[in-house]
């Protein structure tokens, strides 16, 4: 493998890692906060238990408190795991960490209800804690609804309606929970500081039951794998089962501890499935990158036996694979075909379209057609079956290496830049035809460009002039010309590096938005050898 190909592979691998780190980095602050928050709740829970002392705590209460503290510690560990996860979907990670945070609060509040139980002097605090406890339970179920529908890729108009209804019903339910502080609806705390359920306790469970029913129905109709649906349903089924077992034992409240067990299962299975999917996607993208790189001429010097010209090119995709492409190939002993093109869109669809377009242009050129005929026939072939309505801009020229004459045609592509001997680079404003793939039957005009020995041709895609910095300023054609003219007599490889460096210096920390593709050819001529 050549040095350039190796460097390209390293760059692509680096972009894959950077992209993952970038997605995680967007939510790193939230995850770090969640870790310290749950760790602090764990420490506070243990401290409050010893401040309260075990005096007056029944065995069942201590069991519930111990389960809450243990699950809080598990929460902290899950937040730590999220920092190391290869999950690239920021929204998925955000929903999971929110679900984890609300569960941690529920566990802490559950412990607090037992710590103040039976203490008359904390009667008001008991009322307030239970108000938060009831309200947080509803928020937890709503967050789980949001999480499971997103994690299992559920969508549809009806689901959005249900989501809106659950969101609207949540607020009045929370308000009703806090009304209990002054007027007992769902529960009461007597003068001895003892909590007991009120006559309207059943009404406090209606919102939870609606959420549970919505989740169950959504899981039934979901097309997600059965294993994932079963794991997701554990968030509802395990707490319900535990409630059925402990319903007649006052003091044992392990519902949220069981919810934590379900979250661990969900993390272990759904996260693992998504991580495996990411690994497969990355492997496929890496393979696609290598295939695309192998299709482009990337071994330099390209024709070491031919001293009449020197050519160098590079392509840095904005994604793992891109839609830009360049090509150069001998049509016969004395004529070199040169291509610079840019497919609409990015990513895998653009890469597939790029391979088709590149193959058609080269095949048409090798059949002996003129540049205009090459673009016309390529356009007609693509338009014959272009249901996705993609298009490609292209510049195609044929260099006669005997005399330096280039016959070229332009299908909506960027203007080339030309340097003649003893001069600097200037923009050559050739006539543009319509893009390839836009409309069948288009005609393209040819023109001649004469290169004298020492002349240089520079071709590029719009990723160069449209490179954008953090202030949303465009790099522009003028800056590219300036970078070339700092020393216009450099080799093609050095000229490309100069423009590339200028672009990245200008862009700074902004993300690469478009593919960055360039080709530079210096005509030497036969008479100089």
Indicate if the pLDDT at residue 500 is higher than 60: yes
The 10s digit of each residue's pLDDT in 234-259 is 777 776 676 665 555 555 566 777 77
More confident residue, 433 or 236: 433
The pLDDT of residue 6:
39
Q: Measured in whole angstroms, how far is the alpha carbon of residue 170 from the centre of its chain?
A: 31
**Residue 493 — pLDDT band, cuts 50, 70, 90?**
very high
514 φ, ψ to 5°? -130, 160
The pLDDT of residue 245:
56
Mean pLDDT of 304-328: 83
CA distances from 392 to 357, 358, 375, 395 (A): 8, 10, 11, 10
Mean pLDDT of 116-135: 93
- Per the listing, tokens 């499971």 go with 148
The pLDDT of residue 271:
63
DSSP 8-state symbol, 436: B
Beta pairing partners, 156: none
The 10s digit of each residue's pLDDT in 43-80 is 999 999 888 888 888 888 888 888 889 889 988 888 88
Mean pLDDT of 486-492: 94
Q: Residue 168 is encoded by which pair of tokens?
A: 């609207």
Contact 289, 321 (CB under 8 A): yes
The 10s digit of each residue's pLDDT in 69-114 is 988 998 888 888 777 665 555 667 788 888 889 989 999 998 999 8
Indicate if the pLDDT at residue 444 is higher than 90: yes
Q: Report the SS3 class of residue 160.
A: helix
Contact 297, 517 (CB under 8 A): no
Q: According to the per-residue pLDDT averaged within each range, which of 26-30, 271-275, 297-301 is highest?
A: 297-301
CA proximity to 456, closest of 501, 406, 414: 406
Mean pLDDT of 385-401: 92
Distance CA 458, CA 465 (A): 13
Percent of residues in the chain assigned helix, strand, coil, to nearest 5: 55, 15, 30
Q: Residue 387 is encoded by which pair of tokens?
A: 């249901």
Mean pLDDT of 199-220: 87
Give the range among 21-25, 94-98, 510-514 with minimum mean pLDDT.
21-25
Beta pairing partners, 189: 195
The pLDDT of residue 236:
72
More confident residue, 183 or 245: 183
Distance CA 139, CA 353 (A): 47
Query: Across the chain, what does the average pLDDT equal?
Result: 83
The pLDDT of residue 392:
93
Contact 437, 382 (CB under 8 A): yes
Q: Residue 64 is encoded by which pair of tokens?
A: 């519930």
Distance CA 414, CA 362 (A): 20
**Residue 19 — pLDDT band, cuts 50, 70, 90?**
very low
Contact 168, 160 (CB under 8 A): no
The pLDDT of residue 351:
78
Other Cβ atoms within 10 Å of 498 Cβ, number: 19
45, containing H or E segment: helix 28-52
Calculate helix-pair angle for 3-26, 90-115, nearest 10 degrees.
30
Give the range among 253-267, 279-293, 456-470 with minimum mean pLDDT.
279-293
Mean pLDDT of 512-518: 76
Indicate if the pLDDT at residue 15 is higher than 50: no
The pLDDT of residue 120:
93
Mean pLDDT of 145-171: 86
Give the range among 105-109, 218-222, 379-383 with minimum mean pLDDT.
218-222
The 10s digit of each residue's pLDDT in 331-355 is 999 999 999 999 887 767 777 888 8
Calculate helix-pair angle for 28-52, 3-26, nearest 10 degrees.
40
Q: What is the DSSP string of 439-450?
A: STT----EEEEE
**Residue 483 — pLDDT band, cuts 50, 70, 90?**
very high
Torsional class of 251: left (φ above 0), alpha (ψ -120 to 50), beta (otherwise): left
Contact 313, 296 (CB under 8 A): yes
The pLDDT of residue 89:
54
Contact 344, 323 (CB under 8 A): yes
471 φ, ψ to 5°? -95, 10
More confident residue, 236 or 280: 236
């Amino acid at each position: 493998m050549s040095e350039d190909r190796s460097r390209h592979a390293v760059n692509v691998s680096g972009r894959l890692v950077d992209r993952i780190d970038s997605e995680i980095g967007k939510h790193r602050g939230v995850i770090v906060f969640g870790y310290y928050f749950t760790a602090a709740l764990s420490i506070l829970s243990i401290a409050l238990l010893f401040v309260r002392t075990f005096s007056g705590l029944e065995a069942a209460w201590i069991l519930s408190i111990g389960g809450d503290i243990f699950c809080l510690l598990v929460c902290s560990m899950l937040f730590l795991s999220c920092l190391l996860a290869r999950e690239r979907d920021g929204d998925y990670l955000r929903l999971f960490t929110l679900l984890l945070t609300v569960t941690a609060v529920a566990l802490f509040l559950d412990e607090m209800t037992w710590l103040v139980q039976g203490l008359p002097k904390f009667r008001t605090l008991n009322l307030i804690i239970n108000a938060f406890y009831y309200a947080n339970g509803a928020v937890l179920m709503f967050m789980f609804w949001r999480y499971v529908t997103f994690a299992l890729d559920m969508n549809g108009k009806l689901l959005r309606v249900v989501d809106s209804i659950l969101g609207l019903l949540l607020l009045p339910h929370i308000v009703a929970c806090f009304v209990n502080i002054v007027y007992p609806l769902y529960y009461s705390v007597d003068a001895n500081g003892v909590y007991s359920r009120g006559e309207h306790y059943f009404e406090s469970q209606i919102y939870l039951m609606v959420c549970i029913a919505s989740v169950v129905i959504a899981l039934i109709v979901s097309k997600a794998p059965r294993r994932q649906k079963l794991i997701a349903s554990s968030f509802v089924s395990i707490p319900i089962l535990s409630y059925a077992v402990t319903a007649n034992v006052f003091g044992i409240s392990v519902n949220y501890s069981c919810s934590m067990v379900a979250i661990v299962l969900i993390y272990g299975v759904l996260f693992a499935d998504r991580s495996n999917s990411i690994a497969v996607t990355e492997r496929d993208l890496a393979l696609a990158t290598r295939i695309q790189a192998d299709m482009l001429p990337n071994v330099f010097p390209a024709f070491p036996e031919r001293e009449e010209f020197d050519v160098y090119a590079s392509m840095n995709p904005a994604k793992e694979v891109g839609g830009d492409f360049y090509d150069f190939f001998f049509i016969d002993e004395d004529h070199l075909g040169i291509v610079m093109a840019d497919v609409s869109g990015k990513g895998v669809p653009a890469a597939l379209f790029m391979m088709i377009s590149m193959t058609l242009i080269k095949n048409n050129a090798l059949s002996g057609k003129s540049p205009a005929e090459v673009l016309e026939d390529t356009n007609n072939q693509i338009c014959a079956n272009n249901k996705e309505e993609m298009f490609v801009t292209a510049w195609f020229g044929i260099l006669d290496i005997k005399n330096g004459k280039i016959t070229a045609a332009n299908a909506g592509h960027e203007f080339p830049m030309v340097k003649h001997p003893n001069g600097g680079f200037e923009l050559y404003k050739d006539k543009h035809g319509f893009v390839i793939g836009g409309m069948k039957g288009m005609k393209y005009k040819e023109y001649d460009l004469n290169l004298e020995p020492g002349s240089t041709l520079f071709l590029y895609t719009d990723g160069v002039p449209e490179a954008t910095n953090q202030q949303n300023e465009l790099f522009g054609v003028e800056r590219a010309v300036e970078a070339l003219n700092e020393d216009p007599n450099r080799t093609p490889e050095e000229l490309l590096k100069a423009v590339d460096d200028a672009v990245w210096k200008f862009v700074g920390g902004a993300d690469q938005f478009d593919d960055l593709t360039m080709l530079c050819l210096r005509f030497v001529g036969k008479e100089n050898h």
